[in-house]
Amino acid sequence: MDPIAPRSAGTNGLADGELLERIRAGDPSACAECIERYTPVIRRLALRLVGDEVEAEDVVQETFLNAFRAIASFEGRSELSTWLYRIATNTAMMRLRRQRSNFISMDELEAAEEEGPTPPALHDPCCLPEQDLEMAETRAELEQAIHELPESLRVVFVLRELEGLSTEAAAAALDLSPEVVKTRLHRARRRLRERLSPYFPERIPMRKAP
């Protein structure tokens, strides 16, 4: 089962393979079904990345427009939904880069990658108590902390922890190796723990990351 396909895209719809072939053939109903099927997850991802509903809607529209324009070049080596996630992620990041003067540069990204390898045993410092997550202030601080992450870390954290993708699926969506995804996730978790430590002074129980 595709780990990022919406659960509601069920038995009454076309399988992704058939849907893809009909889109390639220029079937407008297939394009419409693709949009209907994947708009909710793409919108949710976009909103988590750009933090603005209007911008998120623009990302959704650009994602499908770019996808349909490039459909002939999609070789089907990954799931259709994974490919759409990749386009949506790239679209969201490009919009942020155009709008912000403090986005992470390639030099900064390369420097971040030189921090060293991920320790062999990773733990998740963001396993927060459920009762705390239910508090509006705590949720706001967590959302702000995620938004403050460098984009290379934020997008990995969003895909893995919030969207629930596996390491392999996130790597495919971002065109990265699983090892890089694990490293960036670890660094994102570490930064979030440091950022949120004033709100959670006691040691938080942690679980091993898969």
Ramachandran area for residue 146 (φ above 0: left; ψ -120 to 50: alpha; else beta)? alpha
Whole-number Å distance between alpha carbons of 207 and 156? 18
Confidence of residue 78 (pLDDT cuts 50, 70, 90): confident
Residue of higher predicted confidence among 204 and 65: 65
Q: What's the rounded Cα separation, in Å, for the pair 160 and 169?
A: 9
* Separation of alpha carbons 39 and 208, rounded Å: 32
> Which of 128 and 162 is assigned the larger pLDDT?
162
Check whether 62 has a pLDDT greater than 90: yes
The answer to whether 160 touches 170, Cβ cutoff 8 Å, is yes
Higher pLDDT, 104 or 157: 157
Average pLDDT over residues 4-16: 52
Q: Which residue, chain included where needed, has tokens 């090892």?
A: 179
The 10 Å Cβ neighbour count of residue 169 is: 23
Stretch 41-47: mean pLDDT: 93
- Dump pLDDT digits (tens) for 96-141: 887 764 444 444 444 444 444 443 333 344 554 555 545 666 677 7
CB 42 within 8 A of CB 88: yes
The length of the chain in residues reads 210
Tokens in use for 154? 């934020």
At residue 112, the pLDDT reads 45
| The pLDDT of residue 135 | 61
pLDDT band at 175 (very low <50, low <70, confident <90, very high): confident
Q: Which of 115-119, 132-136, 177-181, 191-195 has the lowest mean pLDDT?
A: 115-119
Relative to beta strand 123-124, strand 207-208 is: antiparallel
Distance CA 21, CA 164 (A): 28
Span 28-57, mean pLDDT? 92
In terms of pLDDT, which residue wins out, 123 or 61? 61
pLDDT category of residue 82 using cuts at 50, 70 and 90: confident
